[in-house]
Amino acid sequence: MSQESAGGPSLALDELFEEVQVGGLRLRNRFAMAPMTRSKSPGGVPNAENIGYYRDHAAGGVGLIITEGTYVRGPAAGPDLAVPHFYGEESAAGWREVVDAVHAQGSAIVPQLWHMGASRGGSPKFEPEVPTVSPSGVKASGKPVGRALTNDDLDTLIESYVESALLAQQLGFDGIEVHGAHGYLLDQFFWGTTNLRTDEYGGPLRQRAAFPARVVAAVREAVGPAFPIIYRFSQWKGDDYTARIAETPGELEELLTPLVDAGVDVFHASVRRHWVPEFTTHAEDVSLAGWTKKVTGLPVITVGSVGVDKVFLGDGIDETQAQRFSVLRDQFARGEFDLVAVGRALLADPEWVNKVRDGRLADIIPFR
């Protein structure tokens, strides 16, 4: 059904609603639900509320659901008692019901595998007896927290990611997403401020990418060549929106190439506003997603304020939905992304994708 014939204005987004195969994922459209932490799984176990939450968003039309961040076994994955785990029999039983509910509504689903590293802080409620671990035992501010990871710790962490990836495959998930963004553990290896190591995992960009690449390579070996691996990364951090790892397209290529070689299928380039050019000193006004496609040759998910009712002022973009959809359409036409992830707009209205498809913009419940 075209948007025009559905009784609403044409947004010229028809191509985004076509069936597609991206990075081994077969999807009914190019819209993904972005991962959003909710802390609504007491004891780390997905419950009936979680099942209904994901089922409703699948029914709302998204092609792909990326779950909220889920803790790998650890050590010291995070501080929150109600963030879901992705290990153990109880959690596995809950996730199996989530997968079945989502698939019954026609969506694909992948879990996001998460370790917070230094961002866990020094006073966690979950596993308080276990010290926080990170590449160098420091926060972005340089303040010490917990301890630095040993080589034995790194081997244990790799085993944790592999355990969760194999569980996802066993439960019938359509792939996994590795969370390597926003200042969490794997991103702490990328970032010179938090990676002060003098071994093979510290130093130049390519070496700082070595441990995240080891994680991906181990997961790829375990799950085989056909199970999709998405890798989420970002320049910005949770406590520093101006942070940058790569200052040029060449540095971005140096950072991401080890992950490509390790077996990533799709990159999820996390930015706060999808329309902002990534390298302002470069002649091309291309987003981080667009540059990621250019330097890796792999499919990319774009994200960042898609569908929100209001955006921060001063960003050079009209605040009407139609105008912002026009920008999104133009980026897609230029080949800057393959999938588009929607976050806050879907929190407010699980039916957002279906309403956009049908041109029912006036019916959308706005995010406040």
Q: Which residues are catalytic?
A: 184
145: DSSP letter: -
Indicate the pairing of strand 64-71 with strand 31-33: parallel
Q: How many helices (H) and strands (E) does the chain have?
A: 11, 12
Helix 151-171 and helix 210-223: axis angle, to 10°?
Answer: 40
Contact 78, 71 (CB under 8 A): yes
Which among 312, 284, 356 has a CA at the least distance from the CA of 6? 356
Report d(CA 291, CA 342) in Å as an integer: 20
Indicate the pairing of strand 300-302 with strand 31-33: unpaired
Exposure string (b/e) for 16-36, b if CB count within 10 Å is 16 or more? bbeebebbbbebbbbbbbbbe
Contact 352, 296 (CB under 8 A): no
Report d(CA 76, CA 274) in Å as an integer: 32
Distances (CA, A) of 282 to 134, 253, 267, 303: 34, 15, 22, 21
Maximal CA-CA distance, the chain? 62
Backbone angles phi, psi at 75, to 5 degrees: -75, 150
Report d(CA 162, CA 344) in Å as an integer: 30
Report d(CA 33, CA 345) in Å as an integer: 10
Report d(CA 343, CA 36) in Å as an integer: 7
Amino acid at site 208:
R
Indicate the pairing of strand 25-27 with strand 20-22: antiparallel
